[in-house]
Structure 1
Amino acid sequence: MKPFLYTRQGGLAIISINDAPWNKMTLEFMDELETLIPKLKKDSSIRAVLFTAEGEENFSAGMNLKELGPKLANPNELEALFDQRLRVLSAIELLGKPVIATLFGYCLGGGLELPMSCHFRLAAKEGCKIGLPEMDLGTVPAWGGNTRLTRLVGRMHSLDMVLRSKKIDGPEAYRIGLVNEVVENNQLKNRAIELGLELTTQPPIAMREIMPVIIKGDDMSQDESFRMERQAVLNTLGNSESQEGMMAFLQKRKPVFQDN
């Protein structure tokens, strides 16, 4: 059985974890995802990406811990495994195209760390159990979860969730700023596709230029961020996208941005 299903709706690539009902992120899942991400980046016809999961029960209960066990005796193998996960999630975050994740049922450990590397997160209104419960196992999040969670929701909420292995629902995740929207359960995947298709209509060059400015801005001084932003402006002014945008504005129509 394939670890994930890959489909397209126009310019939207849809990746669905294929291990219902728990949708665990196996070693094979991460290996194949690492191969796929560069292809998504290179393919100009793909304008946005959606991560979801098969079934209606859970997005993902995280890593398959049975696969982790044999690696505990070999520090080098363990380091390589965690390095790969950090590498893959960073590649998603820096894809240069907007990435959406649906959160429903269990979204735990890696099942939250992957969505936190995405740019939009939509949560089901009912039944979500969202958290980083690694403390219950006597360890800590290992795929960048501590850092990304703190950046998204702040130190107070991050400490509360991580130190208490706290699991929160969709409305609470929205309240603290972890998700963009809360959606009725039976509409969640449709709403995510709707958002993804909306994002595919945005200018791809401008999208590619501005996303690193926003994502990397926290790690820069204000002046460095200003300079990066200015370069993004210079890289977009006068190109085919900006010409189409200006013309559409003057003609009072919706712009149509081509693949680049």
Structure 2
Amino acid sequence: MSNENPLLITRHGAVMSISINDAPINRMSFAFIDALEAAVEEAATDSSVRALLFTGEGEANFSVGMDLKEAMREVPARGGWDTVLDQRLRVLARIESMGKPSVATMFGYCLGGGLELPLACHFRLAADTGTQIGLPEMDLGTVPAWGGSVRLTRCIGRDNALDMVLRARRIDGHEALRMGLVRSVHPVAELKAAAMALAQELAEKAPLAVDGVLRCIVGADERTLDEGLREERKAFLHCAASKDQAEGARAFFEKRKPVFTGN
């Protein structure tokens, strides 16, 4: 991987596409994580970015996860595992909670960090053939550490998560769809276009309302019903005072597509 371009960023209107630039295996190097953190922060603070798309270069693999050989060299130099994990968890939490919807493509190997990054996204689409999704850490004598065990359990349930993690079992796109890990499967040649179409659809929604819905739904399992209802009311009242809400109402009565500005 070139340390100068560990990821590629492209803009498609209001969608920022972030692609791992290490084809064909797309390792998540330390340079990649550093660049990813910077890109995610840019997306979070740029009001012109309304949705994110995460993918990998080529059509062979989304990502095999961490480069283990590099980790053996770099972890001590970066202050040990606590410091390394703090950064990774911080980046994934930022993706999940920034208030902008994110879409991930899953094709070929999606292992370790190659699953944990998509798990932090709000939507996941998979290739209908050739996909191998899993957390192989048990076969290495360790456990997932980028939030994989927690987010996977919340996504597919305790029993399915135990089966995948304890057995280091890999699943394909169709099984992932049955479990609810991905929302749809597509031919690999069409996968990125389908993911981009979804990201662009999400980017057209009212930003304040999108942020409100994400705040209500992401982390809902951690709240009581009353806490969740208060969060929903807060989001509604915030939108009610917005220009976008007025635009949505006008567009409804005028039978046209609304144009939201984020105000």
Q: TM-score range by the shorter chain?
A: over 0.9
Q: Which runs of 5+ in 2 are unaligned?
A: none
Counterpart of 1:40, as a letter, is A
Q: Is the 8 A contact 1:101 1:122 kept in 2?
A: yes
1:220 correspondence with 2:184: no
Work out the CA distance in 2 between the residues paired with 1:71 and 1:205. Answer: 41
Work out the CA distance in 1 between the residues paired with 2:125 and 2:236. Answer: 30
Provide Cα deviations, 1:36-76, integer angstroms capped at 9, x if missing partner: 21211111111100001101100000001112113566895
Instruction: Name which of structure 1's ranges 197-206 and 63-72 shifts more when overlaid on structure 2.
Output: 63-72
Out of 230, 238, 241, the residue aligned to residue 238 of structure 1 is 241
Out of 141, 149, 152, the residue aligned to residue 138 of structure 1 is 141
TM-score by length of 1: 0.97
Work out the CA distance in 2 between the residues paired with 1:108 and 1:209. Answer: 31
Q: Which SS does the other structure have where 1:123 is aligned?
A: strand
1:40 aligns to what?
43
Provide Cα deviations, 1:87-133, integer angstroms capped at 9, x if missing partner: 11001101210000000000000000000000000000000000001
1:20 correspondence with 2:23: yes
Aligned residue pair count = 260
1:121 correspondence with 2:124: yes
Do the aligned partners of residues 258 and 73 (structure 1) sit closer, same or farther apart at CA in structure 2, a change above 3 Å counting? closer
1:210 correspondence with 2:205: no
RMSD, aligned CA: 1.3
Out of 93, 97, 101, the residue aligned to residue 96 of structure 2 is 93
Counterpart of 1:231, as a letter, is K
Q: Is the 8 A contact 2:96 2:121 kept in 1?
A: yes
Offset of 1:259 from its aligned partner? Answer: 4.2
Identity of aligned residues (%): 53
Provide Cα deviations, 1:162-207, integer angstroms capped at 9, x if missing partner: 0000000000000001001111111001111111111111001111
Work out the CA distance in 2 between the residues paired with 1:56 and 1:74. Answer: 33
Q: Which SS does the other structure have where 1:52 is aligned?
A: strand
- Give 1:106-185 correspondences, 5 Å limit: 106-185=109-188
Q: Is the 8 A contact 2:75 2:84 kept in 1?
A: no
TM-score by length of 2: 0.96
Q: Is the 8 A contact 1:122 1:182 kept in 2?
A: yes
Do the aligned partners of residues 207 and 78 (structure 1) sit closer, same or farther apart at CA in structure 2, a change above 3 Å counting? same
Instruction: Name which of structure 1's ranges 38-47 and 69-78 shifts more when overlaid on structure 2.
Output: 69-78
Counterpart of 2:26, as a letter, is N
Q: Which SS does the other structure have where 1:140 is aligned?
A: coil
1:198 aligns to what?
201
Do the aligned partners of residues 97 and 173 (structure 1) sit closer, same or farther apart at CA in structure 2, a change above 3 Å counting? same
Out of 52, 57, 70, the residue aligned to residue 55 of structure 2 is 52
Q: Which runs of 5+ in 1 are unaligned?
A: none
Work out the CA distance in 1 between the residues paired with 2:57 and 2:124. Answer: 17
